[in-house]
Amino acid sequence: NGAVRVNMSNVDSPLQIFVRAKKKINDIFVEIDDYVKDAVTFMHAVTGENGIATPQDLANVEAYVSKVQAIREVLKRDHMKVAFFGRTSNGKSTVINAMLHDKILPSGIGHTTNCFLQVEGSDNDEAFLRTDGSEEKLNVQSVSQLGHALCASRLQECSLVHVYWPRELCALLRDDVVLVDSPGVDVTPNLDEWIDKYCLDADVFVLVANAESTLMVTEKNFFHKVSTKISQPNIFILNNRWDASASEPEYLDQVRTQHANRCVDFLSRELRVCSPKEAEERIFFISAKEALLTRMREREKPVSSPILAEGHQVRYFEFVDFERKFEECISKSAVRTKFAQHSRRGKNIAAEVMAALEVVYNTATDQKAAKVEKQRVLHEQLSAIEDQLTTITRQMKDKINRMVESVEHKVSLTLSQ
């Protein structure tokens, strides 16, 4: 489709914490799989008539094969998930596009998404759409087509559309980040349903706020709900459209401080999800529109409106800084939430299979000991008989000797007479 491939090396990206951990845990589960299968083969060999193990022992060990298989399936699909929220037109889609270095999601007037869009990597270099619960693939070649397909399919507000985009085109997708765009928090009364359906497994939440206004009650309410359902959610706040500040440079610092204080207050004192100091590291003043433009230019994609407002480099650096902190946060959180439980489970499975093998081993050892004991008793009996024989033989010999002696004596007596 003529798209430029991203060849940049991302070995330094904090996302690698997750990527490497995922590879490692997947490799470990391959080993656990082998180990369990070996155990099953072994159990087969020792089960049956006169066997050491019972069919129940065998069945118990065999059950681990499918358990390990199920975990491996989940692990293969595990990803890092970030969900974007905010009021309509604050720039959620633009932020996502800037992070993906491409105009993937339709944005702007007339493209208000009224469903959830989940962007994830596709393995086969294909770009397509799929609605949740359906297997039908809708091929998309371009953004305008994507927007059209979304409008045409008359989606329900609370439905989820998966947008699969070639992994090789975006570093984030290649590293297993899944990005969820939401309808504006101002357009729905179903916040609870949203959270339950799409957010419970999100590693990071990004509130895309409008730097031209203050945080709205609807935006705050949404995160109040999130924090009642998820303990200590990771929340970033992007004060977007900060390019607007370029037109009023004399108020820039003042406005920024005011916004920043309110956001810190919201995260640390209202939601109590982090300390004020941590909150400061979660708040950014950016222009998603400029960041996207800069990146489109870097990739030599045709873009309009070439003139960027004063201070755009600083805003762009802040955007890059956000991405770095976000990547660190999401990868660490995902490792903890996705892998900790599985690695415990893997350890338990290995221990349980080992315990089952130990039972068999102990039975075998007991049986061997019993046989050895039997042999020992038999041996002792034989020795006793042997001893008896020796004694008897000795007594006989003595008796015969005495007889011979007495005969000899008698004979010599007779001869001498």
Residues at the site binding ligand GDP, with contacts judged by CB under 6 A: 86, 88-94, 107-108, 112, 240-241, 243, 287-289
**Which residue's CB is nearer to ligand GDP, number 14 or number 106?**
106
- Assigned token pair, 176: 């297993």
Compute the least distance from the CB of residue 245 to ligand GDP, in Å: 10
Compute the least distance from the CB of residue 278 to ligand GDP, in Å: 25
**Which residue's CB is nearer to ligand GDP, number 111 or number 345?**
111
Q: Indicate the helix (H) or strand (E) that contains 358.
A: helix 340-416
**Which residue's CB is nearer to ligand GDP, number 312 or number 338?**
312
Q: How far is CA 181 from CA 49, 93, 123, 171, 399, in A?
A: 62, 7, 21, 18, 112
**Which residue's CB is nearer to ligand GDP, number 78 or number 243?**
243
**Which residue's CB is nearer to ligand GDP, number 112 or number 343?**
112
**Which residue's CB is nearer to ligand GDP, number 105 or number 335?**
105
Compute the least distance from the CB of residue 304 to ligand GDP, in Å: 11
**DSSP string of 322-335, one letter each residue:** HHHHHHHHHHHHHI
303 Cβ contact partners less than 8 Å away, ≥ 6 residues apart:
293, 296, 297
Compute the least distance from the CB of residue 285 to ligand GDP, in Å: 10
Q: How far is CA 205 from CA 230, 347, 386, 406, 413, in A?
A: 11, 31, 88, 118, 128
84 Cβ contact partners less than 8 Å away, ≥ 6 residues apart:
92, 95, 96, 179, 180, 181, 182, 205, 206, 208
Cα(186)–Cα(204) distance, rounded to whole angstroms?
A: 21
Compute the least distance from the CB of residue 348 to ligand GDP, in Å: 44
Residue with tokens 């944005």: 107
- Hey, what's the torsion of the CAs at 347, 349, 353, 355, to 10 degrees? 60
**Which residue's CB is nearer to ligand GDP, number 120 or number 181?**
181
Compute the least distance from the CB of residue 297 to ligand GDP, in Å: 16
Compute the least distance from the CB of residue 13 to ligand GDP, in Å: 24
CB 161 within 8 A of CB 155: yes
Compute the least distance from the CB of residue 6 to ligand GDP, in Å: 21
**Which residue's CB is nearer to ligand GDP, number 40 or number 303?**
303
Compute the least distance from the CB of residue 2 to ligand GDP, in Å: 23
**Which residue's CB is nearer to ligand GDP, number 22 or number 289?**
289
Compute the least distance from the CB of residue 65 to ligand GDP, in Å: 46
Q: How open is the CA angle 117-272-259, to the nearest 5 degrees?
A: 70
Read off φ and ψ for residue 235, nearest 5 degrees.
Answer: -120, 130
**Which residue's CB is nearer to ligand GDP, number 108 or number 276?**
108
Cα(352)–Cα(64) distance, rounded to whole angstroms?
A: 9
Compute the least distance from the CB of residue 343 to ligand GDP, in Å: 37
CB 47 within 8 A of CB 55: yes
Q: Which of 193, 229, 241 is nearest to 95 (CA)?
A: 241
**Which residue's CB is nearer to ligand GDP, number 285 or number 339?**
285
3-state secondary structure of 252: helix
Strands 283-285 and 138-139: unpaired
> Would you call 93 exposed, middle or buried from its count of C-beta atoms within 10 A (0-12, 13-18, 19+)?
buried
